[in-house]
Structure 1
Amino acid sequence: MAIVNISNKAVVVNPLKQSQALGATLAFLGLKRTMPLLHGSQGCTAFAKVILVRHFREVIPLSTTAMTEVTTILGGEDNVEKSILTLVEKVKPEIIGLCTTGLTETRGDDMQRIIKEFRKKYPGLNSLPIILVSAPDFKGALQDGYSAAIESIIRELPQAGETKPQQVNFLFGPAFTPGDVEHIKEISSSFGIVPVCVPDLSLSMDGHLEESWSPITVGGTTIKQLQSMGSSAFTLALGESMHGAAEMLTEKFGIPHEVFRGITGLETVDEFIMAMTDISGNPVPKIYDRDRQQLQDAMLDSHFYFSRKRISLALEPDLLWSTISFLQSMGAEIHAAVTTTHSPLLEQLPIEKVTIGDYQDFEQLAQGSDLLIGNSHTHAIAKRLHIPLYRHGFPIFDRLGNGQVTKVGYKGTMQMLFDIGNKFLAAEENKVQYLNSNL
């Protein structure tokens, strides 16, 4: 059991966390023909858009109600109404993801009433799903906003229907990349399972060229698929942050569910593969026997480089859990762990202490580590401390291919094993070169 230490400094120095609004936007980007709409100032939206563009290197559909000083004081009803009508006229989205921000949450806009009045005024748009998410910047983090968006989607769109025995809901937490989603879809399909993935970033943020430009999301989970979730035979929540959404499906439709906190590492992948067998009733395809054997060999080849290495991590709670589990299975030691927000996982981490804090806390705690793991903002700390950095999480803006990176399943685990192992090898080579140059 880990002791959770909350940094109680008077001011945050170099923030680690991303905003809830950014997390909610990321979730909506995995739905087809959707426009995320942030109810706040243009600056709030521009900031989120820049981060998403730099990470995915893709066109990011994102709109704003463009609140000003005057409308913030007088109320944002007209801005919300005009924004929705403009989107309907100009880009014709099938879903609008309406997210509040710190500005409008501080003012206290009654968003439920605003949407209700809008529906009364424009009954012709009652069939347009407007998914409302409360995502204040002043509390929580990316993972909180992301999970709030998924829960709002589950609350609004799935419908009851006759159970489809082979259809399974997959609720993906923010720790999973588009490449991860694609690989898990491939695994489930090989067992004869029909996956309904929410959100499905593998079809929207994976990095592919379209014949024509679109102002809204071009791929992702369709409305029809979202509505059919109530007919699924089972739900898999991938990441503890998806637990609440899975329970909502169980309460509304009686669909049983299971939570997987991660699918990286030999043991956790084994459990996932066996779950696929139990749900589908089909045997494990032979290809996974070969993949598993390759991972086992890779673990044997690389465990010398991981053993007793001290690693410090700065990640969102879900990703922190799965990464720590993987590293400890390879014999590494967790030197320091810093995260962004509260989660039931934190107390259960198999380490002495985890800190909810900022990058200043992380830099102080990480001194003496053999490796740092975090997003691209961690690079400056790694440079100052002269410690190698393995880029992991969101955002990563100084490397290519973030939409295709896969770190789940046997193959994804093996690639992550090699990437981190090569960091240790390079560090040893640099140390030898330094010693030789000073002889």
Structure 2
Amino acid sequence: MAQVIPNKKPLAEQPLKVGQPLGAALAFLGMDKAMPLMHAAQGCSAFAKVFLIQHFHEPIPMQSTAMDPISTVMGSDENLKQAFTNIAQTHHPKLIGLLTSGLTEAQGADIEQSVRLFKQENSKFKNTAIVPVNTPDFYGSLESGYASAVEAMISHLVPNKAPSSARRKRINILVSHMLTPGDIEQLKSYVEAFGLTPIVIPDASLSLDGYLAKQDFNALSQGGATVEQIKTAGQALATIVIGRSLERAAKLLIERTQIPTETFAHLHTLEETDRLIKYLTELSGRKVPVNIERARGQLCDALIDTHTQLGGKSAALAMEADHLTAFTALFASINIKLPVLIAPCNQPQLASLPVEQVKIGDLQDLQELAMEADVDLLLGNSHVNAIAKKMNLPLLRIGIPIHDQFGCFAKNSIGYSGIRNTLFELSNLLRHEVHSIPVYHSPLKQDLTQIEAGVEYA
């Protein structure tokens, strides 16, 4: 059990936290033909949009209700109605994800009622699903915002009744924010290898995977889980949940569908990946495919190859709770010590981590504690890079945003091959940036320029 140390600082000098609205927007971007709508001033949505564009290097659809001082004081219901009408008439989305901000939460806006009234007054937009979710940015973080959006989609779209039919090969998969599009592709390949059909909610591997579509620019998200797939979630054979942050969403889906559910805190260790593969064999009645068995053997070999490089090292981590849970388990399995763990806000799973303490804080806390502990490695998003350079330490970039490297969305760190990739990346970081191996020069080497000049060696 970890001691969770609260944050007592009045302000963050080097912020680690990413706000709830951005996390909720990320969840809605994993839906097909969706439009995240932020109920806020224009600057709030513009900041979130730029943030995601820098991370994914893709155009990001997002709109704002464009609140001004008058609507902030006198009420913003008209802004909402106008925004719903404009988006529905112009872009014809299948889903509008309505997010609040600190401004509208402080105002006391009742977004649930606003959506109900709009639907009653505008029956012509009945085929456009509108999912409201409260995401004030003065508490919580990207993780809680993302989880709240997934929970809201289940609450508003999954019917609260037993399904009339079943699809015996369909598997629902609820995925945490910590899974990249590359991770989701790996997860889907495992499920498909057993003859099952994965329905990932939300599915960023179809919308934020860097695919260059043939058609012209589309103002909506292109690809992802569909509204119809969420509505028919109760017809699945089972549900797989990845990430402790989605436990409330999973509980709600169980109440609505009454189908078997298996929860995994992460898929960043051999043990948890083995448990997933075993569960898939039980669901499908099939043996483990040869390629998956081989991938497991490759991971075991990588564990042997890298243990002398990684074992006994120490690391400092600054990331969301789901990521902390995953990498704490991975590092415990390869004997990397974790004297410093920083989380942006308190989450229930932090207290159960197998470390002495977790600090709720910012990147300034990371730098101070990492220097005190004399760690060998840093893990965090791109904002940690300045600290890594100052301390002359290698940095493994994890989380959002990663704006100083290409391909972060395609990176795979789960499953047998993903864990293997992470082991190699860690080993290379520590070898080349911490304990560099000098180039070997033989004492018998001759200078070719001297030989060409006719100089003889004794």
TM-score by shorter chain over 0.5 = yes
Task: Give the match's secondary structure for 1:366.
Answer: helix
Which ranges of structure 1 fall in alignment gaps of 5 or more residues? 434-439
Give the TM-score of the pair, scaled to structure 1. 0.97
Partner of 2:29: 29
Partner of 1:361: 365
CA–CA separation in structure 1 for the residues paired with 2:174 and 2:301: 31
The count of residues paired between Structure 1 and Structure 2 equals 433
Contact kept, 8 Å, 1:273 with 1:284, in 2: the verdict is: yes
2:261 alignment partner, one of 257, 278, 293: 257
Aligned partner letter, 1:125: F
CA–CA separation in structure 1 for the residues paired with 2:437 and 2:349: 37
Partner of 1:80: 80
Contact kept, 8 Å, 1:24 with 1:145, in 2: the verdict is: yes
Aligned partner letter, 2:266: G
Task: Give the match's secondary structure for 1:295.
Answer: helix
Partner of 1:90: 90
Partner of 2:393: 387
Aligned partner letter, 1:98: L
Matches within 5 A, 1:6-405: 6-159=6-159, 160-211=163-214, 212-367=216-371, 368-405=374-411
CA displacement, residues 174-193 of structure 1 (integer Å, 9 cap, x when unaligned): 00000001111111011111
Contact kept, 8 Å, 1:161 with 1:230, in 2: the verdict is: no
CA–CA separation in structure 1 for the residues paired with 2:132 and 2:18: 20
Contact kept, 8 Å, 1:161 with 1:228, in 2: the verdict is: no
CA–CA separation in structure 1 for the residues paired with 2:114 and 2:314: 52
Task: Give the match's secondary structure for 1:373.
Answer: strand
Q: How far off its partner does 1:163 sit?
A: 2.3
Q: How far off its partner does 1:2 sit?
A: 0.5
Contact kept, 8 Å, 2:342 with 2:358, in 1: the verdict is: yes
CA–CA separation in structure 2 for the residues paired with 1:151 and 1:206: 23
Partner of 2:442: none
CA displacement, residues 345-394 of structure 1 (integer Å, 9 cap, x when unaligned): 11111100001111111111111110000000000111122211111111
Task: Give the match's secondary structure for 1:372.
Answer: strand
CA–CA separation in structure 1 for the residues paired with 2:76 and 2:358: 40
CA displacement, residues 200-239 of structure 1 (integer Å, 9 cap, x when unaligned): 0000000011112110011000122111101112111100
Contact kept, 8 Å, 1:247 with 1:257, in 2: the verdict is: no
Contact kept, 8 Å, 2:92 with 2:128, in 1: the verdict is: no
Task: Give the match's secondary structure for 2:237.
Answer: strand
Contact kept, 8 Å, 1:295 with 1:414, in 2: the verdict is: yes
Aligned partner letter, 1:154: I
Task: Give the match's secondary structure for 1:351.
Answer: coil
CA displacement, residues 93-150 of structure 1 (integer Å, 9 cap, x when unaligned): 1110011111100110111221122122212223321000100000000000000000
Contact kept, 8 Å, 1:164 with 1:231, in 2: the verdict is: yes
Give the TM-score of the pair, scaled to structure 2. 0.93
CA–CA separation in structure 1 for the residues paired with 2:142 and 2:255: 26
Residue identity over aligned pairs, in percent, reads: 37
Q: Which stretch of the first structure deviates more once superposed, 378-387 or 139-148? A: 378-387
Contact kept, 8 Å, 2:393 with 2:434, in 1: the verdict is: no
CA displacement, residues 30-52 of structure 1 (integer Å, 9 cap, x when unaligned): 00000000000111001100110
Q: How far off its partner does 1:267 sit?
A: 1.3
CA–CA separation in structure 2 for the residues paired with 1:432 and 1:341: 43
Q: Which stretch of the first structure deviates more once superposed, 314-323 or 221-230? A: 221-230
Task: Give the match's secondary structure for 1:411.
Answer: helix
Task: Give the match's secondary structure for 2:410.
Answer: coil
Q: How far off its partner does 1:152 sit?
A: 0.5
CA–CA separation in structure 1 for the residues paired with 2:54 and 2:153: 26
CA displacement, residues 238-260 of structure 1 (integer Å, 9 cap, x when unaligned): 00011111111111121121210
Contact kept, 8 Å, 2:65 with 2:79, in 1: the verdict is: yes
Structure 1 residues 257 and 88, CA gap change in structure 2 (3 angstroms): same
CA–CA separation in structure 2 for the residues paired with 1:97 and 1:161: 28
Which ranges of structure 2 fall in alignment gaps of 5 or more residues? 440-458
Task: Give the match's secondary structure for 1:165.
Answer: coil
Task: Give the match's secondary structure for 1:345.
Answer: helix
Contact kept, 8 Å, 2:24 with 2:148, in 1: the verdict is: yes
Task: Give the match's secondary structure for 2:96.
Answer: strand
CA–CA separation in structure 1 for the residues paired with 2:343 and 2:232: 35
Partner of 2:448: none
CA displacement, residues 28-86 of structure 1 (integer Å, 9 cap, x when unaligned): 00000000000001110011001100000001000000001111111110110111111
CA–CA separation in structure 1 for the residues paired with 2:370 and 2:235: 48
Q: How far off its partner does 1:161 sit?
A: 3.3
Q: How far off its partner does 1:432 sit?
A: 6.4
The structure number with the bigger radius of gyration is: 2
Task: Give the match's secondary structure for 2:223.
Answer: coil
Q: How far off its partner does 1:431 sit?
A: 8.3
